[in-house]
Structure 1
Amino acid sequence: MKKLSTLLALCLISAMIWAAPADPQIKGRLIDATSKQVIDFADVLLFKSGDTNPQMHTSPDVKGVFSLQKVKPGTYTLMIRLVGYDIIARENLVISDNTVLNLGDIEMKPLENGLAEVEVVAEKRQLVYKLDKKVVAASTNIVGSVGSAVDILENTPSIRVDADGEITFRGSAGFKVYIDGKPSVFSGTQALEQIPAGHIENIEIITTPSAKHDTDGDVGIINIITKKHSLKGLSGMVNLSGSTWLARNIDFLLTQQNNRSRWYVGGQWTDRLRKSDFDQEKTTIVGDQTTVSHSVGPRTGDSYYYTLKGGWNLELSKTSINVDLEGGYGGNKRKGDMSYKETGTTKGNEPVTELYNSIDDYDNDENIGLGSFSVEHRFNEKGHQIAASGYYKYGGHALEYFFNDLNDLEGNRQQGHRAYEAEHRETLRANLDYSLPFEKVGKLEAGYQYYSYLEDGNYSMEWWNPENQSFYWRDDIYNTFYFQEGVNSIYTILSANWKRFEAQAGVRGEHTHTVLKSSVPGANRTKNRFEFFPSVHLGYTFANDHRLLLSFSRRTTRPQLFYMEPYITYRDFYTAEIGNPDIRPEYINSFEMNYRKSFGENSVSATLFHRTRKDKIERLRVPYIAGVTLDSMANVGHDYSTGIELSTSLHPVRWWNTTINGNVYHYKVKNELAAGGKNESSTNYDILWNNLFTLGKYTRLQLDGSFVGPSVTTQGRTDAYWYANLAVRQQLLKRKLTATLAFKDIFRSACYISDIQTADLRSYTKIKPKYPQIMLTLSYTFNSFKGKSSQAKEDRNDMFEGIKH
């Protein structure tokens, strides 16, 4: 606490030192002329009279407020532009020494006709950096528009997807997913897969979250901002898509906007398929027996989600009320049909080879119901407000089903099993937040949150008896379990804005209570922890729109239940898993420094980052019995990531926008296990190049390429791979109908290779996506449906299937 107090004091002292007499500036606030809601995403350009190139450029903050600092004396024209709105030009603005020109509220009028002409000159920037987050504009990625949130994130620096479709950001899958500031029905990659791209306005990536946010998730939070309707009357959209992989999706959203209230209904039917050719060679040494196996064949994955949702919003003069409900059914499947060859050798004996056909099937589904309620009261228009919210999710009749058979070449079952994990899940969250501005430049925020997750169920397995030619129940594997985690959190944040300098510092205190019960003897655990998580964000805008951001955040990754389940399960016949009830949370310290410079319609940004992680959680693989490996989650030690992200957005000619995103970082794993791993380090890098071409008034073409460099783990490495995508978008029927055709991995170059090596195990896996993958999406809107935020990648997930086998 002493260190934290010193840190907060230094932040405030620095801000006071940097404060100075007012320089010439122009400021104002952007609002929608129809809905009167603030606009927090627009280009504000300042031109000297007679010039065609802007001298300064900025964007509004979450309250719609913009400010151009240190404006040189002279006569200027201010231009404000945003897709879907009429361009605003304020001419003959005279600035002299010490002039502070406050333009007040500037109303932007939504366009009804002629929007296409505006889009050419007012294309949204793909990536916008703010004090505590990055904002990815969904509309800038044509390839992404045919899929889900995962597709849109493809061209974001440091995003990777492994062969099972799991997203990692800067080498970690430990991120939280929110939708409009509320926790998602699902978690991680699965949550992003279930959100149709057509419903997304922006995606916020918060890599060093402030103390106001949940601390769980080591690399931060991905917050999906969905489209809302701002024009009066009934409006809506329908999206329909399919692919050569037989993936299919249909979703709709209807909204009725009245004077003070708004209601919406929506739904989706989604099956996102992945198809790959799988090839794995595995050698295990158990005692004096060596087993070499080789499995080859196709694998198919399917993430499915069938749901209906609805909501209601009431906007009074000082109070807002929101109610949202959602229900449905969802989960994911995986199927494989392998040719399996196994050769076993015992010392002193001749090798014995057996040939099988291996058939496996996995399904994890549940019925879903959730509801949320929030109310916000504004004491004044300066930001003094209080808000409360509640969220509840029920997951019922959840079942994980594992099926696997080894048949001889005549089709007779030789070995097999059936496994069932029946579960029920509940999530509860309640928040109370208070915000108090002071001294015109500062703000104090404080709040409380209660979070609870409960899951209970049982695990059972049937095993094939070749002698009796029947299945029997394995009583030694049957297990019941109960898991409950409760977190009580309080936070406080102090922030201020002095002219060019922004500062925010806060701390969050969390008490965590965890209960794990199991019928496995000696597996029950009860744990209690109280911890502090500080955060600091600093920003400074230099002359000519140079901007520097500094941030620090401490976070944690709490073990999920499947990390701790103390009993053996089988993913397939030759891959078993077991949890670790004593696994510890990860603790992460993240530092970032971001520099950004805009020049006209072009921009460049660079982010230096350093992350240290204690008690890193990683999946380890060891030999179990002859030909069978055992996977388990373990605290392997420490890891360190230090590197730089670069993003350059250029508009060289009127018909061509190009964006290059890349990152390079040194990654090091310091192993602290007695066995099963070693110290490893690598230089990781990837490059993403996106090109958007305007071929006509209603036609766009996108060509992008991705190169993903090699990486290391505690037990091995993954190789580099690359691929390219092509997409074309055509607008029809006065822009009410949009058709998008996307071709993924057009050169058939993507190939995922993983190599695990220890003293008694070698596992070499090669996975290549099926070819071709072509996707067609049709989107229809009526009543000029426009995205309005409620607040302020070709899918690499589609490419591979099967790494965990």
Structure 2
Amino acid sequence: MKHLSYLLLFLLIGSPIYALNSTPKIGIIHGIIKDINTDKAIEYATISVYNKEKSKLIDGTITNENGFFEIKKLKAGNYYIEVSFIGYEKKIIPNIVIRSYRRDANLNIIRLSHSCETLGEVVVNSNNNDIEYKIDKKIIPVNHQLSAAGGTAIDVLETVPSVSVDVNGNVSLRGSTGFTVLIDGRPTFRSSQEVLNSIMTDQIENIEIITNPSAKYNSEGDAGIINIISKKFNLKGVSGILSLSPASHENFSSDAMFNLKKKKSNLNFGANYNINALGGKRKIYKTLLNTDPTSHLDAFGDMDRKNKTLKISGAYDLEINPFNSISITSQYGNELFDSNNDLEYDKYVQGDSHSFENGLEKKDSKNNYFVTTFNYLKKFSKKGHQLNTFIDYTNRQYDSDQTSINTKADEDTNQFLSTFSEDAHGVVISTDYTLPLSNKTTFETGYEYKNLEYDSNRDLKETLGSTPITHPEFQQTADYNKITNSIYSLYSSKLNKLNYQLGLRAEHTHRHIQFEDDSYKINRWDFFPSIHTQLKLNKTSSLSANYSRRIKRPSSSNLEPFLIWNDRYNWTKGNPDLKPEHIKSFELDYNTKIGKQSLYLESYYRMTEDKIEHIKTILEDDSDIILSDIENVGKDYTLGFEASLVSPLTKWLKNILITDISHYKVEGEYMDTYNFSNSSTNWSLRNISYFTLNRITQLQLVMSYKSKSKWAQGEIADSFKTTLALKHSFFKKRLAANLTITDVFNTADLSKTYTNEDLILINKFDRDAPTLKLSLSYKFNNYKSTRRRRSSSL
């Protein structure tokens, strides 16, 4: 914090300081902005005031809910204003004069016309619950995802193109779990799944899906980026929202956000408590093919897990002047996780007697984290010319205890206690510079520094009856440090109807891992080019093509070269010699509007080199134990086609149909012995229907199907899920009640199969369903979040 204070002081001192002028500030400009067709007030329109002689930005503001704006304390002089808002043509009001005898410039009503063309994006939807397709991303508005009310970011993603969520809540992006999660465009050291699980829907404005990121973004993640855009507040006074969501099967969530806006400062406070419970029946079938006769080990029983999350956050924004602003945020989180697996094991040889064993596995873990960020934005007089500096510090402490109790008839009870602890902290410092070269051309460049350190300890204790047994092979420590320095540049321009962007990112990685007496280091450069283009075909259609190169580096746990005890029958071993995966990704997209219907067609091709896979084998010394190694097995290829059709069928019914068809192939070898080639054609279908029953009651029906899919050692079975959500508003929409039924027909089961020459392993999970949830949300005072205009790079 000491260094952070020095940096803040340096940035403030380095900012331009404008001396007070003897000329008095006497003038005021005000007016009302309305839609030229409907005559309705336009809220959040941007008003920019320029000096007429120098075309220099002087001041600015936004309109309130009545479309009214007011800019005070202007010096005597000649001005003009620029009025802009998403979806409307910019309008310039010239020749505004402020004098001592003419201090009040009343512009009365200014009417804006709808834009026929938007540079860098095609927005063909008019309803605010649509998914918005831009040149390099999809933007999903959270407020209108009824089925996600009272949930987390994961619940929103269940209705999003290119994304799938399995029965355990695990998220994948175009078939891969190797995506990166950003918060407001900034990286985080916490795992992607952990971040998505901890952010409540009430805290999210939009979610951006970036399947082929440009060189501006961090290169990590083979499938792309999920960017969480958090809610901001911009209306003066006190505002806030309270929500409470009890649900069946011990699920529960509550959330509160408060905001205080005073002139140029903004103070925000939020807190939420969430219980995410998952239970059901578990079945395991293991067949050993290398025995004669074939032997089996089956398990049946109950699985229950519960994740409790408490998060407290605060933010302070200060606009020093129209050219300089700062933002400071802090966040503390506490997560408690416990799971219980009560299984009965049945061991037998075909045609022989059965041997039974009871197994009880308990896991308790605690995760505490603290995150603080500092952001300084420097704007220059030329519109779009800015320098943005960001600092993030994260500290995380994780502790886990796992107990496994195994009991056989007439034998001593066998008990294992496995412990794991990890202390981690990291720093991110980045700066982005944007320079408009002309109305059509922009140059961007930036630098990012990331430093992550952690220390971990593992231990295992066994007790057979009353006899303690030591396991030094499971007692390990690890010290990990990774420093990444990155620099990028982007050049964006427009040639007639063609928008294009060229980018290049260079990253240097220094990684040092110390495992007791063993040390592993790497120093390497990687380069990541990107190309994005968009051709405007007509007012409602466009064609886009893009290419990017990305990387997926192995996680710290995958690099540990020693045995890790998961439970009595499952061990893991990492590999410090793992190479990172390198990914080449291509996309070709077409967007158009046919009558009132909007059609989006996307094709993609992704090739991965040095594909990382977990390889399951039987332990040589104990055939009951499955060992999961990790290796670079070869290459994989994905060729896919995605289509979305948005159909406003009637005034009260709107339908969104999303389909994804892909062909996946993986080939190579593992354990220096087995050559393989595996492929499958996978497809998914989602249908989302919105019913507007009246102006305060809406109904949403979501049906999704996912076909079976394969990888190097097996396949996942198909699944089907139905979700129904009903929303009703009270008290002029201040209070909203959502009733959500998830997995209505109890069909969202999970079945996963591993196969090789020695082993067939089938894992099945049938979760408790359906789940009912009632979400109550109350907005007070003038609560409304800022609708930030996040322009495309092109």
TM-score, normalised by the number of residues in structure 1: 0.82
SS of structure 1 residue aligned to 2:304: strand
- In structure 2, the residue matched to 1:268 is 272
Deviation at 1:38, TM superposition (A): 9.4
Q: Do the aligned residues in 2 keep the contact of 1:256 with 1:262 (CA within 8 Å)? A: yes
Q: Do the aligned residues in 2 keep the contact of 1:278 with 1:299 (CA within 8 Å)? A: yes
Q: Do the aligned residues in 2 keep the contact of 1:724 with 1:747 (CA within 8 Å)? A: yes
SS of structure 1 residue aligned to 2:403: strand
SS of structure 1 residue aligned to 2:212: coil
Paired AA for residue 248 in structure 1: F
1:358 and 2:359 are equivalent in the alignment: yes
Q: Name the CA distance, whole Å, in 2 between partners of 1:791 and 1:451.
A: 28
Pairing partner for 2:345 from 331, 340, 343: 340
Q: Name the CA distance, whole Å, in 1 between partners of 2:294 and 2:753.
A: 19
Deviation at 1:551, TM superposition (A): 1.0
Paired AA for residue 614 in structure 1: E
Paired AA for residue 196 in structure 1: M
- In structure 1, the residue matched to 2:446 is 447
Q: Name the CA distance, whole Å, in 1 between partners of 2:126 and 2:540.
A: 19
Q: Do the aligned residues in 2 keep the contact of 1:225 with 1:790 (CA within 8 Å)? A: no
Q: Do the aligned residues in 2 keep the contact of 1:677 with 1:758 (CA within 8 Å)? A: no
The within-5 A match list for 1:279-290 is 279-284=283-288
Shift of the 34–642 alpha-carbon distance from structure 1 to 2, 3 Å rule, reads closer
- In structure 2, the residue matched to 1:84 is none
Deviation at 1:285, TM superposition (A): 5.4
Deviation at 1:67, TM superposition (A): 7.5
Aligned residues: 691
Pairing partner for 1:182 from 180, 183, 186: 186
Q: Which one scores higher on RCO, CA 8 angstroms, separation ≥ 6? A: 1
Paired AA for residue 218 in structure 2: D
Q: Name the CA distance, whole Å, in 2 between partners of 1:768 and 1:238.
A: 34
1:324-371 Cα distance to aligned partner (Å, 9 max, x none): 0111312543321112112268xxxx9563212211122332221110
Q: Name the CA distance, whole Å, in 2 between partners of 1:403 and 1:576.
A: 15
The within-5 A match list for 1:235-274 is 235-274=239-278
The within-5 A match list for 1:3-82 is 32-33=44-45
Deviation at 1:274, TM superposition (A): 1.4
Deviation at 1:771, TM superposition (A): 2.2
- In structure 2, the residue matched to 1:615 is 610
Paired AA for residue 488 in structure 1: N
The within-5 A match list for 1:643-682 is 643-673=640-670, 674-675=672-673, 678-682=676-680
Paired AA for residue 447 in structure 2: Y
- In structure 1, the residue matched to 2:17 is none
Paired AA for residue 425 in structure 2: E
1:724-766 Cα distance to aligned partner (Å, 9 max, x none): 1111111112211111111111112222211211111110122
1:46-69 Cα distance to aligned partner (Å, 9 max, x none): xxxxxxxxxxxxxxxxx9565889
- In structure 1, the residue matched to 2:142 is 138
1:415 and 2:414 are equivalent in the alignment: yes
Q: Name the CA distance, whole Å, in 2 between partners of 1:755 and 1:331.
A: 30
Q: Name the CA distance, whole Å, in 2 between partners of 1:288 and 1:568.
A: 29
Q: Do the aligned residues in 2 keep the contact of 1:488 with 1:510 (CA within 8 Å)? A: yes
Shift of the 262–305 alpha-carbon distance from structure 1 to 2, 3 Å rule, reads same
- In structure 2, the residue matched to 1:693 is 691
1:296 and 2:326 are equivalent in the alignment: no
- In structure 1, the residue matched to 2:27 is none
- In structure 2, the residue matched to 1:734 is 732
1:122-146 Cα distance to aligned partner (Å, 9 max, x none): 6314311112111111123211223
Q: Name the CA distance, whole Å, in 1 between partners of 2:550 and 2:179.
A: 11
Q: Name the CA distance, whole Å, in 1 between partners of 2:493 and 2:578.
A: 40
Shift of the 593–31 alpha-carbon distance from structure 1 to 2, 3 Å rule, reads farther
- In structure 2, the residue matched to 1:46 is none
Pairing partner for 2:209 from 201, 205, 208: 205
SS of structure 2 residue aligned to 1:670: strand
Deviation at 1:417, TM superposition (A): 0.8
Q: Name the CA distance, whole Å, in 1 between partners of 2:673 and 2:788.
A: 50
1:748 and 2:746 are equivalent in the alignment: yes
- In structure 2, the residue matched to 1:78 is none
1:581 and 2:576 are equivalent in the alignment: yes
Deviation at 1:461, TM superposition (A): 0.5
Q: Do the aligned residues in 1 keep the contact of 2:157 with 2:165 (CA within 8 Å)? A: no
Deviation at 1:790, TM superposition (A): 5.0
Q: Do the aligned residues in 2 keep the contact of 1:202 with 1:226 (CA within 8 Å)? A: yes
Shift of the 320–574 alpha-carbon distance from structure 1 to 2, 3 Å rule, reads same
Shift of the 456–194 alpha-carbon distance from structure 1 to 2, 3 Å rule, reads same
The within-5 A match list for 1:126-525 is 126-184=130-188, 186-284=190-288, 291-315=295-319, 316-330=321-335, 332-343=337-348, 351=352, 353-396=354-397, 398-408=398-408, 414-466=413-465, 469-519=466-516, 523-525=518-520
SS of structure 2 residue aligned to 1:747: coil
Task: Give the superposed CA RMSD.
Answer: 2.7
Shift of the 658–34 alpha-carbon distance from structure 1 to 2, 3 Å rule, reads same
Q: Name the CA distance, whole Å, in 1 between partners of 2:187 and 2:337.
A: 20
Shift of the 567–351 alpha-carbon distance from structure 1 to 2, 3 Å rule, reads farther
Shift of the 413–389 alpha-carbon distance from structure 1 to 2, 3 Å rule, reads farther
SS of structure 2 residue aligned to 1:545: coil
Q: Do the aligned residues in 1 keep the contact of 2:154 with 2:169 (CA within 8 Å)? A: no
Among all aligned residue pairs of Structure 1 and Structure 2, give the percentage whose two residues are the same amino acid.
29
Deviation at 1:302, TM superposition (A): 2.5
Paired AA for residue 633 in structure 2: V
1:586-627 Cα distance to aligned partner (Å, 9 max, x none): 000111111111346531101010000001112221111221
Deviation at 1:484, TM superposition (A): 0.8
Shift of the 676–289 alpha-carbon distance from structure 1 to 2, 3 Å rule, reads farther
- In structure 2, the residue matched to 1:112 is none
Q: Name the CA distance, whole Å, in 2 between partners of 1:677 and 1:717.
A: 17
Q: Name the CA distance, whole Å, in 2 between partners of 1:517 and 1:287.
A: 39
TM-score, normalised by the number of residues in structure 2: 0.83
Q: Name the CA distance, whole Å, in 2 between partners of 1:334 and 1:736.
A: 38
- In structure 1, the residue matched to 2:543 is 548
Paired AA for residue 487 in structure 1: T
SS of structure 1 residue aligned to 2:462: strand
Q: Name the CA distance, whole Å, in 1 between partners of 2:116 and 2:691.
A: 38
- In structure 1, the residue matched to 2:106 is none
Q: Name the CA distance, whole Å, in 1 between partners of 2:446 and 2:715.
A: 43
Deviates more, 1:570-579 or 1:209-218: 570-579
Q: Do the aligned residues in 2 keep the contact of 1:370 with 1:392 (CA within 8 Å)? A: yes
Which runs of 5 or more structure 1 residues have no equivalent in the other structure? Answer: 1-25, 40-62, 70-86, 94-99, 104-120, 793-805
Q: Name the CA distance, whole Å, in 2 between partners of 1:268 and 1:136.
A: 22
Q: Do the aligned residues in 2 keep the contact of 1:158 with 1:686 (CA within 8 Å)? A: no
Q: Name the CA distance, whole Å, in 1 between partners of 2:681 and 2:131.
A: 25
Paired AA for residue 693 in structure 1: F
Deviation at 1:677, TM superposition (A): 6.3
Deviation at 1:35, TM superposition (A): 9.2
Q: Do the aligned residues in 1 keep the contact of 2:157 with 2:164 (CA within 8 Å)? A: no
Q: Name the CA distance, whole Å, in 2 between partners of 1:678 and 1:102.
A: 51
Deviation at 1:497, TM superposition (A): 2.8
Which runs of 5 or more structure 2 residues have no equivalent in the other structure? Answer: 1-35, 37-41, 49-59, 63-83, 91-108, 119-124
Q: Name the CA distance, whole Å, in 2 between partners of 1:444 and 1:363.
A: 50
Q: Name the CA distance, whole Å, in 1 between partners of 2:743 and 2:566.
A: 29
Q: Name the CA distance, whole Å, in 2 between partners of 1:611 and 1:370.
A: 34
1:473-504 Cα distance to aligned partner (Å, 9 max, x none): 32232111111111000111100134532111
Shift of the 163–578 alpha-carbon distance from structure 1 to 2, 3 Å rule, reads farther
1:696-717 Cα distance to aligned partner (Å, 9 max, x none): 2211111110000110010111
Deviation at 1:152, TM superposition (A): 0.6
